[in-house]
Structure formats: C-alpha cells, structure tokens
Structure 1
Amino acid sequence: MNLPESPDLEIINYQLPDERIAKHPLANRADSKLLTYQAGTISDNHFRSIGKFLNQKTTLCFNNTKVIPARLYFTKDTGAQIEIFLLKPLAPSTVMSTVMEERESVIWECMVGNFKRWKDGQILSTRLTAQDTELTLKATVLDREEKQIRFEWDNPSYSFAEIVEMAGEVPLPPYLNRNPEPEDKPRYQTVYSEEEGAVAAPTAGLHFTEEILDALKSKGITESFLTLHVSAGTFQPIKVTDAREHPMHSEQIEVTKETIEQIIAAEEVIAVGTTSMRSLESLYWFGVRLNNGNENFNIEKLEIYNKSDRLPDRKTAFTKIAAWMTQNRLDRINGTTEIFIMPGYEFKVCDGLITNFHQPGSTLLLLIAAFIGKDWKQVYQHALDNNYRFLSYGDSSILLPTRKR
C-alpha cells in the first residue's frame, strides 16, 4: 500500500464568520443558491436550475438514510437531566435496519451528558404516549467506559424506531448552537429519506424537492439510491498534525443489486453529497476485495491508497459485486466503511459531486480538496464573496472537475 503524504492541514483552513453559517433553513428548499464549478470555471445559479447541469447520460446517486431523533432526555428523581445521544447499535445486532425494528430491548453505544450523575445500576425511565397508549422507556448503563446503554420498553407493539420517534429530539449539528424548532423535524430530512438510522442528515440532498426530482426523471436522468447511515463522527474536526492518524468514524452502508447494476450501466456518475461519494468509492474497493478473493465488506480508512497497475475500472469492480450477489442470491448487501479521502486519492467511481460548503479543518473539506485540488480555495472564496450560506442548512454547489462547459 502506498500511503499518501499527510497534507499540510493549513490547506483546509479558512475564515468562516459566524454570520455566514445558515442557522435556519430557507422557506423553500429549492431557493438555495447553486455554485457551479466546471473544469476550473465558476458561475452562480439557483438550485432549482440543477437540471441544466445534468444530462441524459448522468446517473445521480442519492443517500436515502433517514435521520432519527437521536437525542434522548431522562430526568432523575433529583431533577438532574441526563442527555443520551445514540451513536451506533451494538445488540441484538449491529445492523441498523434490524435494530430499529426491535420490539423489546436494544443496546447502543452513546454519548451521555451529565454522565457522572448517573450511577451504575440506576435505571432511568420516562413515560411516553402513543395515541391512547402509555408506555415506559427505561435506560441502564451496561458499560460506563465503553458508553454502552441498554434501552427497554414495556410494549412490544412498538419498534425502537417508533420509540425514538416519540421520545427523541432532532439531532441538529452542534455548530447551529440552538435548540430544535418545529420546522427542523421535516426540514432536517431529505424528501426521499427512507432507511432509518442516521444521526446527521446527508445535507446535500436537503435542496431537492419532489418537483425537482420529477423534472430530472422526465429529462431521463437515472436516479440510484444507497444508504449510508451518517454518524456523529462527521462533525469531528481533525485535531492531529498528521491527518493519516485522524480516527475516522465507521459508518454502515446498505446497497441493493439494482443500484449496483445502475452504476455498471452509467456513463457518468454524480454523487449527491459526500456520504454518497464515500459510499460509492467504498463499494469500488469492496469490488477490488472480491476480485482478490476477500468477501469482507469492511473498508479500512487507508486501504484505498493501493496504486497497483492491476486495479480494475469502475464497471469491472461493480460487475464483480453484482456477480457475487447473484452467486449468493442477495438482493442487497450491508457493510461498513472508514474510508478517508484526502489529497493523493484517485477517484474510481465519481465524476461529479453535489455538496454543501463544509467546516474549516474537517475531513469533508479534505475530500473536496482531493476531488478538485487547490481550486477548492477559489470555490470557497467565491462563495464567501458572494453571500453564500454555509454548512448544513446552507447553499449548494455542483463540482464537475473534468467536464467542459
């Protein structure tokens, strides 16, 4: 494996004034601005015109994960409030879709606020109301060091997905620095969200409306969907001097055979969001693994810097996945990825990217720098100079580094 040199992290730092962070969504999703970058040329548009930059040979890949109300609150008898933030499921399965359908008890790794005031063995509980039914949700510390919490409830008519919908709060990004409001519940969710399990939204998709999606379909653009359950690690800044030592978070991917076949047939693949891009590039490396006789779909963060001359192209790698799924009679597959894309990575699948504007010093900005090179500075400075709104509820961009105008 040929590891990349650690980039100078100063290359992903820029000054982001607090007033440029979009603290609330626009009234209409499609009213956001759209910065277009095509082979070095930048122009300004509105997101509702996204179809002008896509053609019939384009396959758009969306992440259809659904944000769950992952922030739960329990109050002790003393009045002390304990905040529990769901991170990832541990039992009875680590597969998100399985755990969300559980109807008795689950175990999660969590972040816990005010943890010192929650004693081992102490059961916290809260009463919930579902239609005309009342039930009790209980939480117990199983492992303090590993932050493992067991949740159980007394009515098996309700799945854990339904429980958190009743008990939880929208997990807004920390940089918004405000409490959730009623508008956040529908707006911090894409209109095509389907698979419950994310604790942060795939925000590039927040700009799409049903009308825009219908218009793209009528133009003949192919829509493909995969699932990457976005974790809280997406907000973790790089705090080390050597970027390669940054502890990348692991996230779950689920993809159908139909999507794999769509990528095989695609002439041009544009990822909607960094989560879709990370998923697609991870799938390529799963195809490489299969080609080498390794069926383990757990992509490690730096294995992607294998620069062997024998690496397959996109179609070959995805064809290998499709053949393996056929052989094993699988309609969908689940895996995990810690993929860490930074300058030095050679993209294998994605020709373009639709994305928002990211935090300084973040892994997502490293990904942008890897995709369009040093031009990312020009793109971000243009956005700052032209009153673009930044971060999750901010404006959008479409990056097409190799496509000519």
Structure 2
Amino acid sequence: MEKIFDLDYYDYEIDEKLIAQEPLKERDLSRLMVIHKSDFKIEHRIFKDLICYLKKDDCLVLNNSKVIKARLIGYLNGKEVEIFLTRAISNDEFEGIGKPLKKFKKGSIIEVGEFKILVKEVLKGKRIYFCENYMEVFEKHGQIPLPQYIKRKPTKEDEIFYQTVYAQKEGSVAAPTAGLHFTEKLLEDIKNLGVNVCYITLHVGIGTFKPILEKDIRKHQMDYEYYEIPDETAEIIKSSKRIISVGTTTTRTLEFWNFDENPRKGWTNLFIYPSYKFKVIDALITNFHPPKSTPLLLVSAFIGDFEKVKEAYILAQQMKYRFYSYGDAMFII
C-alpha cells in the first residue's frame, strides 16, 4: 500500500493548549495563514486581510446551513441521559444516539422538562424516537452540539458564535467552521470589490465527528449528507474564472455536483483524499484540522503533499495559531 493511502501517514502531534476552547468575539480578527500552492510561500495575516487576495469577478462560495440545538439532556428513570439528534424522519419521529446507549430500550420514556420522548425502535448503535413536534423540544431545551475537543459545556454565547453570520437553513449538527470568521461587514466589503458571493447548503451530519477506522483510507465510507445548490449559484460558478470554496463541506458539495455532472440537490457521501483530482474549486479557505481526520485528508489532497501540510501545521503551532473549530484559518491559493 502506498503511504498516501495509509491512515497513520496523516498523524501529527498537537499541543492541546492550542485547541481553541472559546470563540473570538471579533470574528475577522482571527489569524490567517496564506499558502501559495505554486511555491509553498507562506504569509501570516489576519482574516479580514482576506480581501487583499480577492479580485473582481472571483466567486466566493459559502455553506449557509444553520446548526440546530441537537444535544438534549433529559431523565430516564430519574437518571440524567443525553439524546443527540442525527436525522429527522418526520415531524414526530427522529433518529438519534442515546448516552448511555444501553439504558435506551424500546418503550423507554425520556422526560425533558414538560415533554416526554418515547424510544420507538432499537437499532444497532442508534434509536428511533417519537415525540409530537419534537423540534419544539430541541429548540426550547436543546444545546448547541460543540465538538468533544471543546472541554466545556455549551453556553448561550455558543448559540451566536458556533453559527455563521449568514446561516439560514436549519439542519446541521456541526458548524461549517471555515465560515465562522466572516462578519457581515467583511462580506459587504468583499461584494463591493466586485466578488460574486453565493451560497450552497450542505447539512453537516454526525459523520463529521466519525473517526477513520480503516488503515487503508480508501476503505473509509462517509455518511450521506443532504445538499442543495441554487440555480443562481450554479450559473454564477459556471461563468466564473476563480472559484474560492469556504470550507470542506462547501468543497465536497461543489466537487460532487461538478458542473451538473450530478443533480443540484440530493445526497452526497463524497470522500476526498490524496490522489483526488479537483474539478471545480481553485482556492480553499479552511481551519486547522485534527490528525487523521477527513477534513485534513481533503486539505492534503488540495495542496497535493501532506508533508507540506505538516510543515504548515508545525509552523502554525510554533507561532501559536489556534486550532480546530474555534481556531484560526488557512487560505490556500
């Protein structure tokens, strides 16, 4: 097996003190590492300097999916339990993961405030729940589902900052984090430059937290996630010379669509890893990702050499960049 397909190749050491635990209050003052693919020149800026690298008629594509309060704390037989919503089935039924899972038996009742949720079916590793208008329960009592490497409970502040300023369509259980750095003013300034700013939707699923378990990365299966590309966005992209993708979720959506090779709405489980040939995007804005993760493999595929990615990550740690969801950003051009 070639080393580029060996999961262990994509490991690196991370100083856990650099894993951002809190959001920056001034979103666009996060740091920005600019990497030039042609010669691997690296520049260190702040995020609002992004505008210095954009030009008239560029196309900036963002994911406007909105994070839902997918984590719910309730009581089963008087003991605290957790439900994590993973998929809507109907207005009254949903699929989710329960913790501790073995306590969630068919017929169990979970009490959440004034609401009662029934475990309707027991499946391998997950459960089907019944509750009339259950989204009302999640909206009233749910919590923003922060990643497990953020070692604290979510707060009201996370309902603002673990959400992009342009989020519109509810459905994600994790934020498209590359977009967290944008402010409304920065987006307005970018539009005033003559850049075409447009949106797709990909609802980020629980699979975003799923580790790769196969040593041969080619055997890994991504979960299916729902996406939509509006006709207006598709036509703007088709007529643009440079497509700048904001985040790995946007990238996977655009690359799957591939100029109408696939439908403009539907489900995708496209897994992008080294050896993949990009067909749509020309530049990528992204955060710094965990070792051996699917977003890291996508970034490695786009740069074309994980050794270069690793060099950038080592440099980022030396310069005290902040890592992961609430961390700093990288612009690869």
Shared fold (TM-score, shorter chain, > 0.5): yes
Q: 2: CA distance between counterparts of 1:225 and 1:43?
A: 28
Q: 2: CA distance between counterparts of 1:345 and 1:10?
A: 19
Counterpart check, 1:351 vs 2:282? yes
Match of 1:124 in 2: 110
Q: CA RMSD in A?
A: 1.9
Q: Offset of 1:24 from its aligned partner? A: 0.6
Tell whether the 8 Å contact from 1:141 to 1:147 is kept in structure 2 after alignment.
no
Q: 1: CA distance between counterparts of 2:217 and 2:272?
A: 11
Percentage of identical aligned residues: 40
Q: Offset of 1:62 from its aligned partner? A: 0.2
Q: Secondary structure at the match of 1:288?
A: coil
Q: 2: CA distance between counterparts of 1:32 and 1:186?
A: 16
Q: 1: CA distance between counterparts of 2:194 and 2:212?
A: 40
Match of 1:46 in 2: 46
Alignment of 1:63-74 (within 5 A): 63-74=63-74
How many aligned residue pairs are there? 329
Q: 1: CA distance between counterparts of 2:194 and 2:319?
A: 33
Q: 2: CA distance between counterparts of 1:6 and 1:48?
A: 34
Counterpart check, 1:335 vs 2:266? yes
Q: 1:113 aligns with which of 96, 99, 102?
A: 99
Evaluate the alpha carbon distance shift between residue 6 and residue 50 of structure 1 in structure 2; reply closer, same or farther with a 3 A threshold: closer
Evaluate the alpha carbon distance shift between residue 126 and residue 163 of structure 1 in structure 2; reply closer, same or farther with a 3 A threshold: closer
Q: Offset of 1:249 from its aligned partner? A: 1.6
Q: TM-score, normalised by structure 2?
A: 0.93
Alignment of 1:4-403 (within 5 A): 7-38=5-36, 39=38, 40-76=40-76, 78-89=77-88, 91-92=89-90, 102=91, 105-108=92-95, 110-128=96-114, 136-145=115-124, 147-153=126-132, 160-284=134-258, 287-288=260-261, 297=263, 333-374=264-305, 375-400=308-333
Q: Offset of 1:231 from its aligned partner? A: 1.2
Q: Offset of 1:274 from its aligned partner? A: 0.5
Q: Secondary structure at the match of 2:129?
A: strand
Q: 1: CA distance between counterparts of 2:311 and 2:16?
A: 20
Counterpart AA for 2:108 = Q
Q: Secondary structure at the match of 2:258?
A: helix
Q: 2: CA distance between counterparts of 1:210 and 1:217?
A: 11
Tell whether the 8 Å contact from 2:97 to 2:127 is kept in structure 1 after alignment.
no
* 1:51-73 deviation digits (Å, cap 9, x = unpaired): 00111121000000000000012
Rg larger in 1 or in 2?
1
Q: Offset of 1:81 from its aligned partner? A: 1.7
Counterpart AA for 2:261 = V
Q: Offset of 1:5 from its aligned partner? A: 8.4
Tell whether the 8 Å contact from 1:58 to 1:268 is kept in structure 2 after alignment.
yes
Tell whether the 8 Å contact from 2:105 to 2:122 is kept in structure 1 after alignment.
no
Q: Secondary structure at the match of 2:14?
A: coil
Counterpart AA for 2:93 = V
Q: 2: CA distance between counterparts of 1:64 and 1:160?
A: 23
Counterpart AA for 1:23 = Q
* 1:1-25 deviation digits (Å, cap 9, x = unpaired): xxx9862323311100110100111
Tell whether the 8 Å contact from 2:222 to 2:271 is kept in structure 1 after alignment.
yes
* Runs of at least 5 residues in structure 1 that lack an aligned partner in the other structure: 93-101, 129-135, 154-158, 290-296, 298-332, 401-405
Q: Secondary structure at the match of 2:149?
A: helix
Tell whether the 8 Å contact from 1:31 to 1:47 is kept in structure 2 after alignment.
yes
Q: Secondary structure at the match of 1:226?
A: strand
Q: Offset of 1:189 from its aligned partner? A: 0.2
Tell whether the 8 Å contact from 1:202 to 1:275 is kept in structure 2 after alignment.
yes
Q: 1: CA distance between counterparts of 2:123 and 2:152?
A: 28
Counterpart AA for 1:106 = E
Q: Secondary structure at the match of 1:347?
A: coil
* 1:26-82 deviation digits (Å, cap 9, x = unpaired): 121111000001121100000111100111121000000000000012212x32122
* 1:374-402 deviation digits (Å, cap 9, x = unpaired): 221222122112110000000011001xx
Tell whether the 8 Å contact from 1:6 to 1:244 is kept in structure 2 after alignment.
no
Tell whether the 8 Å contact from 2:65 to 2:202 is kept in structure 1 after alignment.
yes
Tell whether the 8 Å contact from 1:60 to 1:223 is kept in structure 2 after alignment.
yes
